[in-house]
A = this chain, B = another copy of it.
Amino acid sequence: MRLRGVRPLTLVSWHPVLLALLPDCPMPSPSYRLEPLPGYAPTIGRLVGILLYARHTTLTAVQGLSTAELDHLQDGAGNSIGALLAHIAVVERSYHCLTFEERRPSAPELAAWEPALTLGAEGRRLLRGKPLEHYVQELSEARRLTLEGLAARDDAWLERPLRPAPAMNAHFAWFHAAEDEINHRGQMRWLRARLGSAATGLPRSD
């Protein structure tokens, strides 16, 4: 990633600190402050800032990809960008069960989510042929429920042990949802930079 020859939004989504060092360079959205947010308890608001930033960078990383690009497999062991987007959406769904409903996902839920949750061969076989709008819709619906659930709860709830997984609290669970998304976003950037399509708009850089 270089300071020159990279579109500001791309650079920002990778290294806002470097953008901040550029003279007279505007700071576009998203926010570069983690702080309490209106409509959320203070600590939940800071967590929501992390979730929103992670999602912004994910959507930036896949912007404009065609179905063929979303389905592209770099090799026989990897996951397509589309499969990774489906994964992010079902991971978020699984945390709705664990944190908001305080239960483990049901067998039918796990069966429905299995290809996207575990990725690998089943994901390569089943998670394809969908346009970007399909994945964005799945992500948006999961995120809508996440923000509704977090807005309805308080900071004491956030750090209580989870009933179905007492070694974990909801704060970690929702950080981990963002952390897993960021991990796969790094892979999506790597994969996108190798699609070799003029449409990708991203530099050949990791």
Cα A161 to Cα B20 in complex, Å, equals 12
Of all chain B residues, the one with the shortest Cβ separation from A173 is: B17
**Which of the 9-residue segments A64-72, A128-136, A145-153, A174-182 touches chain B?**
A174-182
A164 close to B (CB within 8 Å): yes
Flag if B161 contacts A17 (CB, 8 Å). Answer: no
Against B, the Cβ 8 Å flags (1 = close, 0 = not) of A156-180 are 0001011011011101110110011
**Interface size in chain A (residues, C-beta < 8 A):** 65
In the complex, what's the smallest C-beta–C-beta distance from A53 to chain B, in angstroms? 7
Flag if A164 contacts B20 (CB, 8 Å). Answer: yes
A24 close to B (CB within 8 Å): no
Against B, the Cβ 8 Å flags (1 = close, 0 = not) of A101-116 are 0001100000000000
A73-105 residues with Cβ-Cβ distance < 8 A to B are 75, 77-79, 84, 91, 94-95, 98, 104-105
In the complex, what's the smallest C-beta–C-beta distance from A168 to chain B, in angstroms? 4
Against B, the Cβ 8 Å flags (1 = close, 0 = not) of A9-37 are 00000111110110000010001111100
In the complex, what's the smallest C-beta–C-beta distance from A35 to chain B, in angstroms? 5
Please give 8 more A-B residue pairs, beta carbons under 8 A apart, in addition to A2-B118, A16-B172, A77-B206.
A14-B180, A15-B180, A17-B176, A20-B165, A21-B104, A21-B164, A21-B165, A77-B194
Give the top 7 A-B pairs by smallest Cβ distance, nearest first. Answer: A20-B165, A186-B186, A183-B186, A27-B167, A32-B168, A34-B171, A77-B204
